């Protein structure tokens, strides 16, 4: 079987060298390039035709997440494995939504890194259970948001918009020329349809559409 072609983006020189050395001295991998930033990532990926991108999430000039957003649309087949120092769920999740396939902590033992690279090459998605859970939850809820919001009537949308602008029920009653009770009725229906129990929750869902 052909070697797995790896392209590395990591701004820390020591870690970059260490990764290169480790991969080159292990059978089954070939490091086609290793760079300190992503400024020229598009031509580089095009040139090296890597199977897997091993990419730091924190880099100068262009963050790993931004780089992922650049790469994925143009090279959808390339697998991207993110490297992070901290177990920052939010940013890792952001990276995955942008197109990364998996992630590892930098302190991960070398053997596990090699394993993850093979996993990702074979179609797996190395990640921690907490991230995995977020991904699942997102899959379940994300498409629903749109549907849920689509079920709102024009008036309900108008009032949800007002809520998201920070207006209270009274203020909405004023601007919409209806009574506070009517505003409350609309808000109740909005909560039902969006399956939430407070204005802030409704706004959060609305802003995720």
Partner DNA sequence: TGTAATATCCCCTGTTTTGGGGATTTTCTT
Partner DNA sequence: AAGAAAATCCCCAAAACAGGGGATATTACA
- Residue 203 interacts, among DNA, a copy of itself, none and using kind-specific CB cut-offs from 5 to 8 Å, with a copy of itself
Under the criterion CB under 8 A, does residue 71 sit at the interface with a copy of itself?
no
Q: At a CB cut-off of 8 Å and minimum separation 6, what does 121 contact?
A: 4, 51, 52, 79
Nearer to DNA, 38 or 152 (CB): 152
Asked if 198 is part of the footprint of DNA (rule: CB under 7 A), the reply reads yes
Binding positions for DNA, 157-176, rule CB under 7 A: 168-170, 176
Residue 181 binds to DNA (criterion: CB under 7 A): yes
Does position 166 interact with a copy of itself (CB under 8 A)? The reply is: yes
Tell me the HSE value of 111 on the side-chain side, using a 13 A CA sphere: 0
Interface pick for DNA out of 48, 106, 145, 184 (rule CB under 7 A)? 184
51 contacts DNA (rule: CB under 7 A): no
| Burial of 114 (C-beta count, 10 Å sphere; 0-12/13-18/19+) | middle
User: Of residues 47, 87, 89, 165, which one binds a copy of itself by CB under 8 A?
Assistant: 165
- Name the DSSP class of 153: -
Task: Determine if residue 166 is left, alpha or beta; phi over 0 gives left, psi from -120 to 50 gives alpha, anything else beta.
Answer: left
Nearest approach, Cβ of residue 144 and DNA (Å) = 18
Token readout for 17 is 């060298």
Determine contact, residues 183/169, Cβ cutoff 8 Å: yes
Q: Binding residues for a copy of itself, per CB under 8 A?
A: 46, 73-74, 163-168, 174-175, 177, 196, 198-205, 207
């Amino acid at each position: 079987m052909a070697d797995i072609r790896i392209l590395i983006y990591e701004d820390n020189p020591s870690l970059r060298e260490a990764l290169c050395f480790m991969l080159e001295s292990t059978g089954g991998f070939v490091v086609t390039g290793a760079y300190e930033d992503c400024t020229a990532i598009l031509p580089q990926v095009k040139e090296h035709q890597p199977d897997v991108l091993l990419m730091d999430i924190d880099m100068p000039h262009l963050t790993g997440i931004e780089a992922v957003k650049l790469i994925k649309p143009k090279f959808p087949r390339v697998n991207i494995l993110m490297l992070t120092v901290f177990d920052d769920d939010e940013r890792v999740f952001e990276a995955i939504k942008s197109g990364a396939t998996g992630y590892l902590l930098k302190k991960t033992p070398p053997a596990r890194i090699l394993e993850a690279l093979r996993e990702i090459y074979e179609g797996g998605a190395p990640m921690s259970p907490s991230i995995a859970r977020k991904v699942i939850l997102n899959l379940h809820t994300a498409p629903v948001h749109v549907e849920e919001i689509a079920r709102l009537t024009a008036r309900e949308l108008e009032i949800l918009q007002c809520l998201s602008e920070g207006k209270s029920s009274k203020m909405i009653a004023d601007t919409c020329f209806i009574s506070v009770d009517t505003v409350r009725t609309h808000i109740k229906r909005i909560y039902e349809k969006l399956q939430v129990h407070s204005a802030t929750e409704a706004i959060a869902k609305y802003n995720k559409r």
